[in-house]
Homo-oligomer: A and B are copies of this chain.
Amino acid sequence: MPKIADHSDRMRAIASAAIGVIGEAGIHNTRLRDVARAADVTTGAVTHYFDGKDAVLEAALAEVVRRLIEAQRSARVVDGDVAGAVAAFMPNTEERRRDWKVWFAFWGRAISDARLRRQHRAYYAAILANLTDSIRAFQRSGLAHPAADPALLADAVVAAVDGLGIRASLEPDEWPPERQRKTLRAMLEPILRAPPPI
């Protein structure tokens, strides 16, 4: 009987390999044997752990989210540059672009699948909880308006990142990192500093 650590390590290695395959070919062109080849295991090993393509996609997104939340926890705002810190989550490196493609693939499925939507909501809740904490810290240090609703600002920041991430993912040549950062700055700074509506 394999050790639990081996089991979960193996699953995570397959999920990580799946991020690369989905990010390269799109979910509709991803075959389990391509994932197996990328993970350097047999197709049988993939089907042993995952009961189909959707299960592999779910595991790939779980790994993307795990890394994202880890990055959120270690993110630091330098010299009041919130947009600069948030830019670390944008599709501005090969690795990040792959992560975004996994989100795209998941969105495309979740839109017509209630179970995947619940999973998506749980991920967003975790991301928003971390972000809301950061925004409270911004309020204490003068980077966000002290009277604003932190949860509303967190929704706004996530929407700004998602919307810009879509555009930059679909038009990679027109959206180098500097343009992403500039547009992010034009969105986040006014949103965070605005007084709440009366």
B-binding residues in A (CB < 8 A): 24-29, 101, 104-105, 107-113, 117, 120-121, 124, 152-153, 155-156, 158-167, 169-171, 174, 182-183, 185-187, 189-191, 193-194, 197
Cα of A121 to Cα of B168 in the assembled complex, Å: 11
Give the distance in Å from the alpha carbon of A158 to the alpha carbon of B170 in the complex: 14
A164→B170 contact, CB < 8 A: no
Residue of B nearest to A182 (CB): B152
B117 touches A170 (CB 8 A): yes
Chain B residues with CB under 8 Å of A197's CB are 185-186
Complex alpha-carbon distance, A124 and B168, angstroms: 12
A167 vs chain B, min Cβ distance (A)? 6
Most chain B C-beta atoms within 10 Å of own C-beta, residue among A29, A101, A108, A197? A108
Q: 16 pairs across A/B with beta carbons < 8 Å? A: A27-B108, A28-B109, A29-B112, A105-B108, A117-B170, A120-B170, A121-B174, A152-B182, A152-B186, A155-B183, A156-B183, A156-B187, A159-B166, A159-B187, A160-B160, A190-B190
Is the beta-carbon distance between B190 and A186 smaller than 8 angstroms?
no
Contacts of A26 in B (CB 8 A): 108-109, 111-113
| Chain B residues with CB under 8 A of A111 | 26, 101, 104-105, 169-170
Q: Give A161 to B159 CA distance when docked, in angstroms.
A: 8
